[in-house]
Structure 1
Amino acid sequence: MRTIKIMSFAVLGALALSPAAFAQDAGADTASGKRFAVVGGVTLLQPKSGPATGIDKVDGGPAPTLSASYYFNDNVAVELWGAADKFDHRVRTSGGAKAGTVEQQPLALSAQYHFGAADNVFRPFVGAGYYQSNFSNEKIDGLAASGDHVGLRTAKGAIGTVGVDMNINSTWFARADARYMHARPELSVAGAGTGEKLKLDPWTVGFGIGARF
């Protein structure tokens, strides 16, 4: 959570400085016509509660994230987004007891539409695409009465994004975004599929700093 606070203060500082900094730089340069953008930040991922019978909650957590975008024009872009490290989750049973831990690392490709002119201080955007999230280091064997290893198959599905870019100048910007992933990974026991799927469907909230060129 300390990382989340640091990034939040950085974004708020950038937002406070952005109108003056962008106005000063606008006469010399412009964001319009720049085709590439990269963003680095931190994201909090939180799965929904009660994803399956016997599981009350899968705790969320933060991880660093990166994205790279190509702009076909000032408004339409395609973005590759993913976690630079794994999200850590604690799995809790219906009684609130800890059943184990699991890690995941999502990767997504989305089309986006950015509203307004490229040089606007605030630029909201929306996006939709496809993602996969790989689960690893599952230590939730207590969920199986047989004591066999319990694993999660790769989650695949749709991802939706809403966010806003806050221009600092023609190159640098701060970003805040939220994403929804339709995640229904299948539980496996001793390497065999069970047919039971976890309804994780996580939301993410992210903050970052980006550059366009």
Structure 2
Amino acid sequence: MLKQVALIALMGMSASAMAGQWQVKVGGSVISPTQDTTDPDLGHFEADHEYAFTPSVEYFFNDNISAELLLATPISHDVAHEGENKIKIKHLPPTLTAKYHFKNSTRFTPYIGVGGTAFVAWDEKTSGNLADLDVKVKEDFGFAGQIGFNFQPADAKNWGVFFDARYTQLSPEVTVKAGGTTVKKIDLDIDPMVYTIGYSYKF
């Protein structure tokens, strides 16, 4: 009987410990590149700003420490060549950060995070005077930093609104071919800021 009581108590404690450990966030993001690239042979390249639907899943180890995985629908990026001709690149930017939440007596909870990000590209297309070139973009991995806050209204039990900004360090390698022969390999400097606003729901 004592063993059964102990088992039930442990199950209850485990269920209580699990409560509030998962959070789902749904938001919209602006991806804003901070760098451009100039090659002495190929000229100037600059990625433009894009918008994306960016859900994320977050696991709380305790009240202060969590890990968040940022997801996104496929993003179609335009890269301008000499300000006119463009390369279209589809990619995904999965980003994982470890976060620290500054708990306080207000309904605002600021947080910071550090981690890593990836640039997974496919379906590269060229146009204009670059149409005859075959462009391939290699996947890339880099550092990610994050700062933001979550706000929980007075009448909210589980949901809130949030805003954060991420800096991601990305310079994917681009291979340019003409007639099947490699003409050039360059690093496309992007290093975007990702600004996100949306809703959060904690389980």
Q: What TM bracket, shorter-length normalisation?
A: 0.7 to 0.9
Q: Which residue of 2 aligns with 1:88?
A: 76
Superposition pairs for residues 171-210 of structure 1, below 5 Å?
A: 171-190=158-177, 194-210=184-200
String of CA shifts for 1:24-50, please: whole Å, max 9, x gaps: xxxxxxxxx621101011111011242
Could you tell me how far apart the structure 1 residues matched to 2:184 and 2:112 are? 36
Displacement, 1:120? 3.5
Q: Say if 2:167 and 2:194, in contact at 8 Å, map to a contact too.
A: yes
Match of 2:32 among 46, 64, 86: 46
CA contact (8 A) 1:41 1:208 kept: yes
Does the alignment pair 1:164 with 2:149?
yes
Partners in 1 of 2:37 and 2:54 — Cα distance? 25
Q: Looking at CA atoms only, which structure, 1 or 2, has the larger radius of gyration?
A: 2
Q: 1:77 aligns with which of 62, 66, 74?
A: 66
Tell whether 2:84 aligns with 1:97. Answer: yes
Shift in CA distance, 189/56, structure 1 to aligned 2, threshold 3 Å: closer
Find the aligned partners of 1:70 and 1:206 in 2 and give their Cα distance. 19
Aligned match of 1:27: none
Structure 2, unpaired ranges of 5+: 1-18
Structure 2 residue aligned with 1:68, among 57, 61, 77?
A: 57
In the alignment, which residue of structure 1 is the partner of 2:4? none
Alpha carbons of 1:49 and 1:132: their partners in 2 closer, same or farther (altered >3 Å)? closer
Matched, 1:109 2:72: no
AA matched with 2:33: P
> CA separation in 1, counterparts of 2:91 and 2:144?
16
CA distance in 1, matches of 2:194, 2:96: 16
Quick check: 1:125 aligned with 2:114? no
How many residues are aligned here?
A: 177
User: What's the offset of the Cα at 1:137?
Assistant: 1.8
Cα distance between partner residues in 2 of 1:122 and 1:56: 40
Gaps of 5+ in 1: 1-32
CA drift of 1:141 comes to: 6.3
- Structure 1 residue 52, shift from structure 2 partner: 3.3
Paired with 1:198 and 1:131, the residues of 2 have a C-alpha distance of: 16
Instruction: Kindly indicate whether residue 137 of structure 2 is the aligned counterpart of residue 148 of structure 1.
Output: no
